[in-house]
Structure formats: structure tokens, C-alpha cells
Amino acid sequence: EIVLTQSPGTLSLSPGERATLSCRASQSVSTSYLTWYQQKPGQAPRLLIYGASSRATGIPDRFSGSGSGTDFTLTISRLEPEDFAVYYCQQYGSSPPITFGQGTRLEIK
């Protein structure tokens, strides 16, 4: 099973600042199958980034994804108030097919 470890667990930043979230895999992950989601309190997750670096429909260009192999990054260039949420990375592989990271909470400083 591929384990995804996200860091930091909590990130405290102010609006306008840049956020960098990390997702490290225990084995190499195909870039085609590394995904990022955003979840706000009381809401379902929302697809942000698929294929490691492609933005989903309607996602602002301040969100970007990068990385390959075992190290992946989600970057939010300038934080807006609505960006404060929990972010999860996810990989799709063989067995089990899907695993999620434990999440990074992005909170207002």
C-alpha cells in the first residue's frame, strides 16, 4: 500500500501570503494519478488538481500543483480568505486503488 504523508499538519498564514503544502509518497506515484482536494468545514471535498498539475474546472490559477515520483507540492500563490480549509492529496494505484494523505489544515494566522 502506498502511504501518503502530508506536511505540515497545520499551516498558519495570513491572506495574501503564499502557501506551500507537501505530499510525500512511500513509493513512486505516477503523476497521472496524484490529485489534490480542498475541504471546508461541513462540506464535501472539492477536486482542485488532477494529474499532479492540472487544475480542475473552475479552480483559480492561484492554485498550482507540481512534483513527481514521491514528492508533490500544492502551492497557493496569494491566499484569499476562502482558501482557508483542509487539503488532501490522493493517489490512485494498484492495491488498494486509492489512498489519501492525512490532510493539511490551512488556518488564518
Burial of 37 per CB tally in 10 Å (0-12, 13-18, 19+): buried
Q: Quick one: 39 or 75, whose CB is closer to another protein?
A: 39
Binding site for another protein (CB under 8 A): 32-33, 35, 37, 39, 44-47, 50-51, 56, 88, 90-93, 95-103
Q: Quick one: 67 or 101, whose CB is closer to another protein?
A: 101
CB 58 within 8 A of CB 35: no
CB 49 within 8 A of CB 36: yes
Q: How far is the CB of 37 from another protein (least distance, A)?
A: 8
Q: How far is the CB of 88 from another protein (least distance, A)?
A: 6
